[in-house]
Amino acid sequence: MKTWFAIVLAATAVNGALASARVLVEAHRGASFAAPENTLASITAAVGSADLTEFDVRETADGKLVLMHDSTVDRTTNGTGLLASLTLSQVQSLDAGSWFSPAFAGEQAPTMIDAISHALERGITPLIERKAGGASTYHNEFVGAGLAPNDFRLISFDWGFLSGLHALDANYSLGALGSGALDQAVINTAVASGADFLDWSHSGITQATVDLVHANGLELHTWTVNDAGRMQQLIDYGVDGITTDSPEVLQQLAYQANRSVDLNLDGVVNDEDWRLFNATRGTEFNGMSLMDAYALGDLDGDLDNDIADFVIFKELYLAETTSTSFGAQQIAPEPNSLTACLCGLLLLSTTGVRSIGRQWG
């Protein structure tokens, strides 16, 4: 048990470094393709395919923060009128699910704090887009709920808002939303507002843009990308995160891109990585983020370390290291040929990895 906790702590410690090794998958308004946007149901639906769940927040007439994209409640509820003219009680009396499907009848627009808690309990990081409301209102709700600044990320097109929130707590992770030209002057303004990452419209993003942002020590995230070809291009450029309505598509591309079994991120693939992987074989990582699970050997993003992950690990390990001790390090037998064949067919159908059919040797 002590060993397991030590491994989990080690994975958590390298989580930030892993973020730079694999693009973060950010579900737009939750998994809004599978459930009504900006609801607890859409947050739940994003679990397993996204690292972060993005949702929009506005302030009610009685000063409460609630999830809603539009300034009115007309499109996504059975009510009408400006959200800012309604109290929280009035907003939550509305049906925010039936417009999407009868299966979600009675779904409410949750409070920001309930949405954050719901996401964190399920191992997914909240990405809060501030649509309306003052910095002090947000700060007071965060503090009142006992949230740590690193429990979530917050983005806004209003950089003055970011500056105000940064002044209240410099430890918040703040992203400057924007579009259009992204040059040094824009970056300087974003940094002055307290932003530690940029979240930019993907149109116009080039390799040079990514390099410039990274040269300034900032992350570059992009929105909203639903074309798989463009996703792959942005991954190749090295963007740090992509907001999408298709998180499952992006997840598969993300796990295929630059995949490595340097699990402890010491810059070399060796027997230490094998020991880390082997220590959690057969383990499920329910409730853990995709990034932390990857550091423990979940190489295919299904929140466990199973035979499919072993196939991937062995292939990448042998490709990335000159070590000849792989077989000697094994403390459990490799799967038999039938299991390997079935596993290979499964991987071929779900990930398109052509190389899984090669001999296990």
Could you give the residue numbers annotated as active site?
28, 69
Concatenating the DSSP letter of every residue in 63-77 gives S-EEE-SSSBSTTTS
Supply angle C-alpha 94, 99, 101, rounded to 5. 115
List Cβ neighbours of 227 (8 Å cut-off, separation of 6 or more).
Answer: none
Dihedral through CA 108, CA 110, CA 115, CA 117, nearest 10?
-100
Q: Which amino acid would we find at residue 28?
A: H
For tokens 């740090």, the residue is 240
CA 264, CA 139: separation in Å to the nearest integer?
A: 35
Ramachandran bin of 175, using left for φ above 0, alpha for ψ from -120 to 50, beta for the remaining angles: beta
CA 36, CA 34: separation in Å to the nearest integer?
A: 7
List Cβ neighbours of 318 (8 Å cut-off, separation of 6 or more).
Answer: 326
CA 61, CA 331: separation in Å to the nearest integer?
A: 62
Tokens linked to 177: 């939303």
